[in-house]
């Protein structure tokens, strides 16, 4: 989604802005722009549709954008098509206010109509232009300071946003505000930075301030001040970012996705070790859940989006079976608009890599407002969901750059596994010995993932064979169905091949009519209880011409009699089999995309962190 970078200080702004924007490319965008100011001169604004490379080409020499203060933006179109005109920065008619914005202003049409009556004209279709002109309007009407004018404007707008503005009357200064969309401020010596995401400024500083909703910041060379909505000065705590800048580089891999697939053993191991202490004891004190609280839980609601939702679908089987607690898994975008009676002794688990997904954040707020205790499983420290939840279980995946998640997904799975085991032990469903044995199984996952990765060439070969497929069907039952959902998403989002995940038993209620000669059907069969059933469903599709790929655990060699290509993953307690079975499917998606020559890390139309509804 959209990205923001701003800089003011002793050096030149343009190189910092362009470097920062390129670090945000992974979030997904369709146009970009910068505005740079040299002292009191008018800002130079350059915008371009397409990639940062296109913007750089348009700028030409950096001598064309001289100045020590500037703001930059990558846009992912919401209001108005991707175009140079709709790209940010936007400006008031006389350039008194120039700005960039992330998020959505919901009442922008109302604001536009009001400003039109006051004589304002609009050149773009964006909601951003409306908020910038609204600030301009208040600034001029009330002859106020920028902070006062911004405060007045944000009280008037509805929606979520992060806003960065430069005022003609305040050379070398940047003014920011946020509500709902992430924004951080960094300082080092005389240089002040603002960004929507940590990687944008990690090359320059590791010490940042997080601005909260309805707060504002004023940046100038050598200093930053913070304000609340009343315009009063407030103090903020400086937080150290522990990420390693190198972790956000490709490190010799052709794509971030392949690098992140290979980082899974370590990411999963680190996440396990964050709560598994001496021997195999699970310690949730860091998460903040007491045994009394765990005993009281009568229902679990898992709410998430995308792959995080798929983690929820897989984990519901594990939680219900090991902890004996009923689980409902909800899509955050659906849940937030639904009036569902919620049980008061419930625990809501919100799963999110970024911690900023708009729908998941709203679902969390809705749970809290209904008096439900919330636990966030989040990867990004200090993110909105992490800060607003009652309890946080941090996954230790490190920065994930590829749009298609892999390592964050895998860490979310083990986080849920460990919660299920500990809940089961505390609630008396598992003895200490059983719990320890299960933890031992979870601890074996990293090494087993590493073994699967050693066999990736076979999958690459198979992927190249099906790189031109029209449709791919993933079928499985129970936990295997959950694995299929993620495998199918991995495949379609980066290869642009239509694919579907189907509960194997449902296939004959309609979808099997789509199977024809040569259609690829991938059967996931790791659950012994339903193994034969899924195999029968695979055979039904083969009778209608399907080409069968099987995915199962070592020892289930009989699958080779049915499938024309079979992948075996190491054995693990069947509750945890998604952690292993998903890996060949991640590789399959990756290699199909590679064979088709697509932009693996930045698939079309997608964004890494979806901060709008």
* Closest listed residue to residue 416, CA positions, set 524, 313, 520: 313
- Asked if residue 329 binds ligand G6P (CB under 6 A), the reply is no
DSSP H or E segment with residue 140? helix 127-141
Nearer of residues 51 and 608 to ligand G6P, judged by Cβ: 608
Q: If you ran DSSP here, which 8-state letter would residue 180 be given?
A: B
Closest residue to ligand G6P in the complex (CB) = 306
What are the backbone dihedrals phi and psi of residue 349, each rounded to the nearest 5 degrees, phi first?
-105, 120
- In the complex with ligand G6P, the residue whose CB is nearer, 36 or 610, is 610
Asked if 404 and 490 touch (Cβ cutoff 8 Å), the reply is: yes
**Per-residue x/- track, 539-568, ligand G6P (CB under 6 A):** ------------------------------
User: Whole-angstrom Cα distance, residue 141 to residue 96?
Assistant: 13
Q: Give whichever of 6 and 28 is closer to ligand G6P, judged by the CB atom.
A: 28
Binding window for ligand G6P (CB under 6 A); candidates: 177-185, 236-244, 420-428, 604-612: 604-612
Between 147 and 606, name the residue whose CB sits nearer to ligand G6P.
Answer: 606
Show the tokens assigned to 149: 């004018």
> Looking at beta carbons only, is 96 or 331 nearer to ligand G6P?
331
Q: Is position 360 an interface residue for ligand G6P (rule: CB under 6 A)?
A: yes
181 scored as a contact of ligand G6P (CB under 6 A): no
> Of 114 and 365, which CB lies nearer to ligand G6P in the complex structure?
365
Distance of closest approach, residue 355 Cβ to ligand G6P, in angstroms = 7
Per the document, the length of the chain is: 613
CB of 270 to ligand G6P, least distance (A): 18
Q: What's the closest the beta carbon of residue 195 comes to ligand G6P, in angstroms? A: 17
Q: Please, are residues 308 and 360 in contact by the beta-carbon 8 Å criterion?
A: yes
Q: Is there binding between residue 610 and ligand G6P (CB under 6 A)?
A: yes
Q: Which residue, 162, 75, 167, is CA-closest to 124? A: 75
According to the binding rule CB under 6 A, does residue 352 interact with ligand G6P?
A: yes
- What is the separation, in whole angstroms, between the first and last Cα of the chain? 12
Comparing CB distances to ligand G6P, the nearer of 303 and 327 is 303
395 with 412: CB under 8 angstroms? Answer: yes
Catalytic residue among 133, 259, 602, 608: 608
Both tokens assigned to 462: 């198979």
183-222 mask for ligand G6P (x: CB under 6 A)? ----------------------------------------
578 binds ligand G6P (CB under 6 A): no
Helix, strand or coil, per DSSP, at residue 226:
strand
Q: Which residue, 305 or 484, is less far from ligand G6P as judged by CB?
A: 305
Instruction: Provide the minimum distance between the beta carbon of 448 and ligand G6P in the complex, in angstroms, as a whole number.
Output: 23
Task: Determine, following the binding rule CB under 6 A, whether residue 308 of this chain makes contact with ligand G6P.
Answer: yes
Q: What is the DSSP letter of 211?
A: P
Rg (CA), the chain: 26
Q: Of residues 101, 262, 492, 608, which one binds ligand G6P by CB under 6 A?
A: 608
Site size toward ligand G6P (CB under 6 A) is: 15
Q: Does 348 bind ligand G6P (CB under 6 A)?
A: no
Q: Which residue's CB is nearer to ligand G6P, number 282 or number 494? A: 494
Helix (H, G, I), strand (E, B) or coil at 281: strand
Told to check if 331 binds ligand G6P by CB under 6 A, we report no
3-class secondary structure, 177: strand
The reply to whether 306 sits near ligand G6P by the rule CB under 6 A is: yes
Q: Show the CA angle centred on residue 470, arms to residues 469 and 473, nearest 5°.
A: 85
Q: What is the DSSP letter of 557?
A: G
Which residue from 405, 410, 566, 579 is in contact with ligand G6P, where contact means CB under 6 A?
405
User: Which CB, 99 or 487, lies closer to ligand G6P?
Assistant: 487
219 neighbors 251 (Cβ within 8 angstroms): no
Residue of 31, 92, 307, 495 that binds ligand G6P (CB under 6 A): 307
353 binds ligand G6P (CB under 6 A): yes
Are residues 573 and 444 in contact, defined by beta-carbon separation less than 8 angstroms? no
Query: Interface mask (CB under 6 A) for ligand G6P, residues 17-56, using x and -?
Result: ----------------------------------------
Name the segment binding ligand G6P (CB under 6 A); options: 184-192, 283-291, 500-508, 601-609: 601-609
The closest alpha carbon to 218, from 143, 133, 150, 138, belongs to: 150
Closest CB to ligand G6P among 135 and 401?
401
Those residues with Cβ within 8 angstroms of residue 532's Cβ, 6 or more apart along the chain or in another chain: none
Our answer to whether residue 47 is catalytic in this structure is: no
Contacting residue, 174, 367, 403, 530, with ligand G6P by CB under 6 A: 403
Backbone angles phi, psi at 596, to 5 degrees: -85, 0
Reading the block at residue 595, the tokens are 């064979």
Clarify whether 608 is annotated catalytic: yes
Residue 369 and residue 12: Cα distance in Å, rounded?
Answer: 46
Answer yes or no: are the C-beta atoms of 493 and 592 closer than 8 Å: no
Beta bridge pairs of residue 233: 227
DSSP category for residue 561 = G
Contacting range for ligand G6P; rule: CB under 6 A; set: 245-253, 346-354, 366-374, 466-474: 346-354
- 534 lies in the site for ligand G6P, by CB under 6 A: no
Is there binding between residue 1 and ligand G6P (CB under 6 A)?
A: no
Contact 160, 103 (CB under 8 A): yes
Minimum Å distance from CB 607 to ligand G6P?
6
Instruction: State how far the Cα of 251 lies from the Cα of 175, in Å rounded to an integer.
Output: 36
Long-range contacts from 360-364, C-beta under 8 angstroms, 24+ separation:
360/303, 360/304, 360/305, 360/308, 360/332, 360/385, 361/180, 361/385, 361/388, 362/332, 362/336, 362/613, 363/303, 363/330, 363/332, 363/335, 363/336, 364/303, 364/388, 364/389
The answer to whether 7 and 17 have CB atoms below 8 angstroms apart is: yes
Does residue 606 belong to the site contacting ligand G6P (CB under 6 A)?
Answer: yes
- CA gap 524, 502 in Å, rounded: 11
Looking at 419, 609, 611, 612, which residue binds ligand G6P (CB under 6 A)?
A: 609
* CB-CB contact of 277 with 283 (8 Å): yes
Binding flag, residue 495, ligand G6P (CB under 6 A)? no
Query: Which residues are catalytically annotated?
Result: 2, 608
Instruction: Point out which residues bind ligand G6P (CB under 6 A).
Output: 305-308, 352-354, 357, 360, 403, 405, 606, 608-610
């Amino acid at each position: 989604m959209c990205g923001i970078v701003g800089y003011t200080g002793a050096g030149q702004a343009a190189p910092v802005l362009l470097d920062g924007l390129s670090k945000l490319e992974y979030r997904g965008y369709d146009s970009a722009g910068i505005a740079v100011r040299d002292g009191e001169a008018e800002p130079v604004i350059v915008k371009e549709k397409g990639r940062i490379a296109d913007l750089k080409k348009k700028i030409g020499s950096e001598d064309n954008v001289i100045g020590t203060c500037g703001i930059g933006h990558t846009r992912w179109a919401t209001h108005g098509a991707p175009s140079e005109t709709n790209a940010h920065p936007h400006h008031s008619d006389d350039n008194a206010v120039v700005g960039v914005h992330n998020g959505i202003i919901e009442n922008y049409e109302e604001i536009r109509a009001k400003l039109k009556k006051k004589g304002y004209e609009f050149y773009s279709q964006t909601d951003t232009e409306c908020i910038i002109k609204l600030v301009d309007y208040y600034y001029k009407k009330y002859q106020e300071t920028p902070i006062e004018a911004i405060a007045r404007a944000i009280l008037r707008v509805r929606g979520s946003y992060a806003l960065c503005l430069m005022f003609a009357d305040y050379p070398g200064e940047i003014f920011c505000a946020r509500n709902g969309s992430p924004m951080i401020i960094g300082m080092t010596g005389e240089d002040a930075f603002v960004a929507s995401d940590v990687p944008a400024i990690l090359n320059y500083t590791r010490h940042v301030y997080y601005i909260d909703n309805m707060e504002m910041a004023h940046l100038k060379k050598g200093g930053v001040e913070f304000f609340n909505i009343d315009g009063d000065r407030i103090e903020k705590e400086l937080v150290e970012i522990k990420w390693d800048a190198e972790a956000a580089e490709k490190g010799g891999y052709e794509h971030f996705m392949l690098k992140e697939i290979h980082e899974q053993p370590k990411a999963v191991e680190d996440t396990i070790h964050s709560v598994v202490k001496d021997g195999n004891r699970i310690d949730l004190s860091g998460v903040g859940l007491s045994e009394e609280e765990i005993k009281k839980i009568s229902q679990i609601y898992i709410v998430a989006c995308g792959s995080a939702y798929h983690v929820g679908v897989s984990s519901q089987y594990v939680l219900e079976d090991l902890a004996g607690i009923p689980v409902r898994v909800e899509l955050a975008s659906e849940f937030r608009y639904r009036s569902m009676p919620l049980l008061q002794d419930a625990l809501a688990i919100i799963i999110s890599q970024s911690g900023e997904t708009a729908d998941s954040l709203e679902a969390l707020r809705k749970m809290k407002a209904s008096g439900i205790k919330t636990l966030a499983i989040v990867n990004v420290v200090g993110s909105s969901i992490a800060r607003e939840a009652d309890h946080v279980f941090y996954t230790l995946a490190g920065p994930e750059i590829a749009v298609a998640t892999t390592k964050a997904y895998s860490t979310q799975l083990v986080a849920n596994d460990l919660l299920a085991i500990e809940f089961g032990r505390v609630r008396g469903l598992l003895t200490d010995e059983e719990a320890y044995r299960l933890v031992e199984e979870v601890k074996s996952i990293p090494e087993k993932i590493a073994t699967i990765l050693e066999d990736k060439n076979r999958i690459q070969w198979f992927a190249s064979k099906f790189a031109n497929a029209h449709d791919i069907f993933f079928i499985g039952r129970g936990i295997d169905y959950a694995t299929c959902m993620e495998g199918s998403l991995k495949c379609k989002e980066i290869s642009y091949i239509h694919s579907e995940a189907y509960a194997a038993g449902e296939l004959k209620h309609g979808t099997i009519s789509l199977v024809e000669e040569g259609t690829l059907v991938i059967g996931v069969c790791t659950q012994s209880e339903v193994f034969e059933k899924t195999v029968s469903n695979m055979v039904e599709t083969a009778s209608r011409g399907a080409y069968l790929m099987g995915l199962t655990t070592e020892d289930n060699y009989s699958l080779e009699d049915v499938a024309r290509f079979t992948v075996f993953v190491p054995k693990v307690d069947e509750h945890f089999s998604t952690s292993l079975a998903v890996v060949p499917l991640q590789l399959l998606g990756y290699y199909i995309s590679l064979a088709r020559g697509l932009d693996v890390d930045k698939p079309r139309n997608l964004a890494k962190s979806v901060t709008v509804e």
